[in-house]
Amino acid sequence: MTRVIVAVVLLVAVAFNLVLLYPEITSGIVAKNDAVMHLLLAQMAVEAIEHGRNFTDPWQGTMNLGFPFFHYYQHLPHLLVALFHVVTFGVFPVADLIRWSTYLLLSLFPLTIFWSLRRVGFDDLTAGMGALVAPLAATDSLFGFGYASYTFLGFGLYSQLWAMALFAPAIALGYGVIRDGRIFLGDIALGRVVDVSPDVRVYGFHQPRCAGTRRGR
């Protein structure tokens, strides 16, 4: 019976997000926020791949006098979008991929919380309730985990959205590093958070990694 309740809770949490955020993928236009920059960066990565250049550190030549953006900015999301676009032979436009990935990452966020809570040892019902309330974590115009940080009418923090999706699993794996001394997988997962967003890395990387390293010796 508990599993049925948990399944319903997760279904409600995800369905609510899918319905609430559906207009994000139907507008057909790019929001006038940071999403414009992220679209530009993803397209830059696509051009680098198509021309056989180093797509992990291309030169961005249309902003001011040019800038090696990926050399300093967290670009894993843009590379994933670019690679998917190229592998699918351009069937899916880059702008649509960014819109859809934003929609799905936000909508499925409760599932990452559920998995993470179960990973650290909480029971199904506690993890399910945590997943249910996870989308309610928000701050008022402070670039936190709320919808306003990522949606059309918000700030368009695309890299941070990927970090938000990876944050809880990374913490869960980091806990495993501390508990079991299995450093390799935990370090990789936590490192991905570092690559994605500096706003999350101070919480998801340094302390668990250091503690896990000490435990593993």
Domain ranges of the chain: 2-23+109-216, 33-103
**Tens place of pLDDT per residue across the chain (217 aa):** 888 999 999 999 999 999 999 998 887 777 778 888 999 999 999 999 999 998 888 888 887 788 888 888 888 899 999 999 999 999 999 999 999 999 999 999 999 999 999 989 999 999 999 999 988 887 777 777 888 888 888 888 898 898 888 888 888 887 877 777 766 555 565 666 555 555 554 444 444 444 444 444 4
Residue 35, both tokens: 């999403």
Specify the amino acid at residue 137: A
Calpha distance 79→113 (Å, rounded): 25
Beta carbons of 168 and 113 less than 8 angstroms apart: yes
3-state secondary structure at position 67: strand
pTM of the predicted model as reported, rounded to 2 decimal places: 0.82
Beta carbons of 117 and 126 less than 8 angstroms apart: yes
